[in-house]
Amino acid sequence: MPDTIYIKSKAEIEIMRQAGRITAGARSIARQAVAAGVSTKQIDRYVHEFIVKSGAKPTFLGYAGFPASACVSVNEEVIHGIPGKRLIRDGDIVSLDVGATYRGMVGDCAGTFPCGQVSEEAQKLIQVTRQSFFEGLHFAREGYRISDIGGAIQDYVESHGYSVVREYVGHGVGHKMHEAPEVPNYRIDRHLGGRSNPRLVKGMTIAVEPMVNVGGYEVKVLDNGWTVVTADGSLSAHYENTILITDGEPEILTMAEDL
């Protein structure tokens, strides 16, 4: 990932708002499609059709060779699930990650949703993951640092006995899906090396996306080269929105009314 952080102009921000609305709409379409007997490929098709009809392009399709317009990850699959013939079953939890590019600007968002009746643990995991995003959002303000967001997410998640994935993180977003800076969902110390910890400034656009596991935070990649699963086979959930840093309250660019 490049080191340069792109501060967006007013014109770029307005286009990102439009990209964000399309992306949030695609996530809603995908959520509504989650039902027993529906294939992950069907959900991908609905997402693709919605984004194209909205005048945008599916950002994920072809990205580094990814073969679909949406990532559909089920149960222990953390991220990057490749849509296919798999049928969703009652009791599954389904993570849906979508992106849309509109007039050269990208929106990126995700969420995890239940299929029918799920276990109490699964429902709690979904709720904790979603709320952890909003705990981090409190610090998505000018003057704070990237690590303030991640620290708040980590503290909230771990207070509920869960763990946050370390190997995959949020990111800047705008002209490209992945821009600087990286946005970890855990506390980092810039004095210890590793990830940078820049201060947030007005005009930055970032994707904050906690990935939360019931068990340990360790993950592995399946043989398809894409799908990331929990190393211990425990359930995982994912929640993401694209955020604009302002001189006041942060603006969520991908927030749909039902999410």
167-220 residue pLDDT tens: 999 999 999 999 999 999 999 875 444 568 999 999 999 999 999 999 999 999
pLDDT of residue 15: 98
Entry pTM:
0.96
Confidence band of 234 (pLDDT split at 50, 70, 90)? very high
pLDDT for 37: 98
β strands within 7-128, DSSP E: 57-58, 70-74, 77-79, 93-102, 105-114
CA distances from 175 to 64, 105, 166, 216 (A): 16, 5, 25, 34
- Write down the pLDDT at residue 119: 98
With contact defined as beta carbons under 8 Å apart, do 117 and 91 qualify? yes
> Which H/E stretch holds residue 45?
helix 40-53
Give the domains, in start order, of the chain with CATH numbers.
10-252 (3.90.230.10)
Predicted confidence at residue 222, as pLDDT, reads 98
80 Ramachandran zone, left/alpha/beta (phi>0; psi -120 to 50): left
Asked if residue 233 has pLDDT above 70, the reply is yes
Q: What percent of the chain has pLDDT over 70?
A: 95
- Is the pLDDT assigned to residue 118 strictly greater than 70? yes
The count of residues in the chain is: 259
pLDDT band at residue 259 using 50, 70 and 90 as cut-offs: low
pLDDT at 3 over 90: no
- Using the predicted structure, report yes or no on whether residue 1 has a pLDDT greater than 80: no
- What's the average model confidence in pLDDT over 93-110? 98
Q: What is the mean pLDDT of the chain?
A: 96
Burial class (CB in 10 A: 0-12, 13-18, 19+), 234: middle
pLDDT attached to residue 28: 97
Instruction: Please determine, for residue 253, whether its predicted confidence score (pLDDT) is greater than 90.
Output: yes
Residue 256: band (very low, low, confident or very high) from pLDDT cuts 50, 70, 90: confident
